[in-house]
Amino acid sequence: MSERTARVQTPWEVFIRPRRGLSHQHVGSVHGADADMALANARDLYTRRGESVSIWVVRSDAVRASSPSEKDPLFSNAADKPYRYPEHYVALNEGGSHDG
Amino acid sequence: MTTTDASGEEGFTEHFEALLAADERIEPRDWMPDGYRRMVLRQVAQHAHSEIIGMQPEGAWLTRAPSLHRKASLLAKVQDEAGHGLYLYSAAETLGVSRAELLDALHGGTQRYAATFNHPALTWADTGAIAWLTDGAAVVNQVPLCHTSYGPYARAMRRVCQEEAFHVRQGYDVLWSLCRGTPEQQEMAQDAVNRWWLPAVALMFGPPDTTAGGADDRTAAMGAAVSRRSMAWGIKRHTNDELRQRFVDNCVPQAERLGVTLPDPAIRWNEERGHYDFGPIDWRLFREALADNSQCARQRLAHRVAAHEDGAWVREAVDAYAAGRYEEGQSA
Amino acid sequence: MTVSRTGERTRDVAAYALRLGDDALVLSQRLCAWVTNAPTIEEDLAISNIALDLLGHARTLLAYSGELDGTGRSDDDLAYGRTERQFRNALLVELDNGDFAVTIARQLVYAQYGLLLCTALAGAGDAGLAGFGARAAKELEYHRMHAAQWTVRLGRGTAESHRRMQAGLDRVWPYAGELFEADELVERLDADGTAVAPARLRADWEREVAGVLADAGLTVPAPSWHATGGRSGLHTEAFGPLLAEFQSVRRQYPGGNW
């Protein structure tokens, strides 16, 4: 539950599962004074053409971000660890692409 | 070289410039120069307002569409424009302004929209001409903006572009049917193309920023300075005049196939340049439209303001209802 | 004997589909006028979505009617080629839009009726109507939800929105009864299960709508006069201008190609 009362122009972040087997993906934001309104607005705005299996809306002020900037110390430790990726190692087959 | 001040702005500037140099996107919580923020905001807001005001000339024909199929496709198109406006307002909000502030700026005339829409839509054929020419021009502008440097704007533009292709085809299709109809229908189509061609060529691409297309040196130099700044920041990717040429090159063969004449006797293929030549643009017309003093411009804004004011009691009700529910939740 | 009864039933289904198609067509036309005039841009989008759904319903039903009535008229022929007295829509859908509350009240009345009717039609004997009912019910369910949520927000919003919402309900209420009227046509179709007599849906409709109004803190309007006439082509004076606008371009260019 968010701290403050919502208004007609309170922003909500919208997440859509485009089809089964995929996770919800952030697509943008909408306004809404309550979750019902935000959901209805998200449906009308983001699913006019596309198939969508489900929609989540989350109040934008309820999102906790890892740092005030996108230049983020939280992820700097991931930058120089090539050993986390398969390409770092010798290929299992001739082509070297997918290991099947 | 300047020394780094206490706020550490020097390091931020370097980081910002490095992101641009690497063709990376700038995201909302990144530090950015004020000038960049203002320029992106002005462009995104103007773009959003253009979508919303742009609903009016075609929206006026929704109740009169001459077949149920045309009515459905026009409804879908006008609805998309509302949607595009909303995508873009969301992108603008990431720069720290609220929708209410953006709408106030539109209604108060301190932020602009594309002056093209200050022309009246007089006949059914205008819905075709607007979609083919104005939206066609918008697509030429927008495709490069899918790679613009500000992340939320680029993402909004990718959505817009995916949907916009349908608009241009839809408009062309309206004219296609008219051009294959009765002589009166053909005349209506040609008349609409006559009236919407110049607004699209002149007003959808902004002022001249090279000496191509009829601008005098001073005007071109002013335009060029703005475009250079915008291009250095990766907001724009091409000059206005490059995009204008691309649009003309697209339209000439389409008009031939359609069977209408573009109202510019100077249009002809230039083998040497590999482009169509076209007549110099009457920039006086451009400036007059920018002056916001036409009868139609006043009407567009008055329509928008009336809708907003008539709806004030509804928005107040929504806020009051939400506040009441919140209090109920608190006391429970 | 069997042949003529089959022929009669086909003509009955055509007439029934025409009524429902005209309801959807005229309401869609009214909603089109909201686009660019709604209280928020979000509502421009929501109302145009609903108008688009209703237009789809109208096209399906009018095309079906024209196919069955033996004249071979298309959906466009029926929509653009008839005159005022030949339209069979209920008067409710042709009422002026009024303010947003009147439109929402009309949407609540219509969408709740349409949802119940289409749900029932989905199990009807006529395959064309059943197929239509199953598809349309899903969309009308959403329209009902949209109207119900707005009714509650306006009913429990400010004093002004409460007053307007109640006035909107009072305005449209006398036009609700016509939706449920019985006549020989619907009774014949109901008797053998080909289609549904809307009178059978009335109790459910009243209960559902009363539930929304209770949530909204609004009063169910007292029974008063009851408008009627649309099903026999006797419309309100507002209908002539509506139709003139709707058909104007097509009539100005006879023999045109659209």
Domain ranges of chain C: 2-252
Q: Are C109 and C92 in contact (CB under 8 A)?
A: yes
Q: How confident is the model at residue B264 (pLDDT cuts 50, 70, 90)?
A: very high
Whether B58 and B100 share a structural domain: yes
Residue B151 lies in a domain: yes
The predicted pLDDT at position B166 comes to 87
Sorting pLDDT into bands at 50, 70 and 90, what band is B218?
A: confident
Assess whether B189 and B251 both reside in one domain: yes
Q: ipTM of the predicted structure?
A: 0.96
Residue B6 has pLDDT above 50, yes or no: no
Q: Chain C closest CA to B37's CA: distance in Å?
A: 25
- Where do the domains of chain A lie, and which CATH numbers do they carry? 11-66 (3.10.20.520)
Do B147 and B101 share a structural domain?
yes
- The residue count for chain C: 258
Q: What percent of chain C has pLDDT over 90?
A: 95
Residues C108-117 as b or e (16 or more Cβ within 10 Å = b)? bbbbbbbbbb
Q: Which two tokens stand for residue B194?
A: 């006559």
Statement: residue B247 has pLDDT above 60: yes
CB contact under 8 A, A8 and B322: yes
Specify whether B153 is located in the same domain as B302.
no
Looking up tokens 């019985």 gives: C182
Find, among C253, C255, C247, C252, the residue nearest to C29 by Cα: C247
DSSP, residue by residue, C201-255: GHHHHHHHHHHHHHHHT-PPPPP------GGGT---TTHHHHHHHHHHHHHHSTT
Residue B156's closest CA among A45, A48, A10, A33? Answer: A45
pLDDT digits (tens, 9 = 90+) for B190-208: 999 999 999 899 888 888 8
* C43 to chain A, closest Cα gap in Å: 8
Q: If you search the block for the tokens 């909204």, which residue do you land on?
A: C216
Phi-psi region of B259 (alpha: psi -120 to 50; beta: other; left: phi over 0): left
Give the right CATH number for C2-252 from 3.30.460.20, 3.10.180.10, 1.20.1640.10, 1.20.1260.10: 1.20.1260.10
Whole-number Å distance between alpha carbons of C54 and C132: 12
Answer for the pair B112, B45: CB distance below 8 angstroms, yes or no. no
Rg (CA), chain C: 18
* Residue type for position C64: Y
Chain A residues touching B87 at Cβ < 8 A: 28, 45
On whether both B127 and B260 belong to a single domain, the answer is yes
**8 Å CB contact of C42 and A36:** no
Measured distance CA(C173)–CA(C110) in Å, rounded: 11
Closest CA in chain B for residue C63: B68
What's the whole-number mean pLDDT along residues C150-172? 98
**Strands annotated E in B210-307:** 268-270, 275-277
Between B175 and B14, the more confident residue is B175
Q: pLDDT, tens digit, for every residue of B128-178? A: 999 999 999 999 999 999 999 999 999 999 999 988 888 999 999 999 999
Q: Between B37 and B217, where is the model more confident?
A: B37
Query: Whole-model pTM above 0.90?
Result: yes
Cα-Cα-Cα-Cα dihedral of C232, C238, C241, C243, to 10°? -40
Q: Looking at this protein, which amino acid is placed at residue C244?
A: A
CA–CA separation, B132 and B128 (whole Å): 6
Nearest CB partner across the interface for A9, out of B30, B79, B99:
B99
pLDDT at position B208 is 82
Is pLDDT above 90 for B309? Answer: yes
B325 touches chain A (CB under 8 A): yes
Q: Which of C42, C145, C153 sits opposite A41 (nearest CB)?
A: C42
Tell me the chain C residues in contact with residue B124 when contact means C-beta distances shorter than 8 Å. Answer: 249
What gap in Å lies between CA B307 and CA B304, rounded to an integer? 5
Mean pLDDT of chain C: 96
Q: Nearest 10 degrees: CA dihedral of B67, B68, B69, B72?
A: 130
Phi-psi region of B120 (alpha: psi -120 to 50; beta: other; left: phi over 0): beta
With contacts defined as CB-CB under 8 Å, which chain B residues touch C154? 314, 317
Closest to B321 (Cβ–Cβ): which among A33, A65, A68? Answer: A33
Residue B6 counted as domain residue: no
Question: Are B271 and B127 in a shared domain?
Answer: yes
CA dist C156 to A33, B64, C152, Å? 14, 37, 6
Of B288, B304, B323, which residue constitutes the final position of a domain? B288
Mean pLDDT of B308-317: 97
Instruction: Report yes or no on B4 lying in a domain.
Output: no
From the list C45, C146, C149, which residue is nearest A45 (CB)? C45
Distance of alpha carbon B77 from alpha carbon C52, whole angstroms: 11
Contact C258 B70 (CB under 8 A): yes
Check whether B240 has a pLDDT greater than 50: yes
Both B298 and B175 in a single domain? Answer: no
pLDDT score of A96: 54
pLDDT band for position B2 (cuts 50, 70, 90) = very low
| CB spacing of A48 vs B93 below 8 angstroms | no
Structure confidence at residue B1 as a pLDDT band (50, 70, 90): very low
Compute the distance between CA of residue B51 and CA of residue B134 in angstroms, rounded to an integer: 11
Bridge partners of A58, per DSSP, are A13
Question: Each residue of B125-142: b (16+ CB within 10 Å) or e?
Answer: bbbbbbbbbbbbbbbbbb
Instruction: State whether B278 and B332 are in the same domain.
Output: no
Residues on chain B touching A8 (C-beta within 8 angstroms) = 315, 318-319, 322
* Residue B322 resides in a domain: yes
Domain annotation covers residue B5: no
Range of the structural domain that residue B274 is part of? 11-288
Q: What is the mean pLDDT of residues C220-249?
A: 96
Establish if C149 touches chain A: CB-CB under 8 angstroms. yes
Closest by CA position to B130, among listed B145, B141, B119: B119
- Whether residue C133 contacts residue C122, with contact meaning beta carbons closer than 8 Å, is answered with yes
* Residue of A71, A72, A74, A75 to mutate, interface with B, max B Cβ within 10 Å: A71
CATH (domain of B46): 1.20.1260.10
Q: Chain A within 8 Å of C74 (Cβ-Cβ)?
A: no
B196 and B304 within one domain: no
Q: What is the DSSP letter of B282?
A: -
- Is residue B86 within 8 A of residue B103, CB to CB? The reply is no
Supply the mean pLDDT for chain B: 90
Residue B37: count other Cβ atoms within 10 Å of its Cβ: 16
Quick one: what percent of chain A has pLDDT higher than 70?
72
Q: Over pLDDT 90: what percentage of chain A?
A: 44
CA quadruple C208, C211, C216, C218: dihedral, nearest 10: 90
Contact C120, C133 (CB under 8 A): yes
Question: A-side interface with B, Cβ within 8 Å?
Answer: 1, 5-9, 11, 28-31, 33-34, 37, 44-45, 48-49, 65, 68-71
**R_g of chain A computed on alpha carbons:** 20
Residues of A in contact with B27 (CB under 8 A): 70
Supply φ then ψ for residue B318, to 5 degrees: -60, -45
DSSP H or E segment with residue A25: strand A25-31
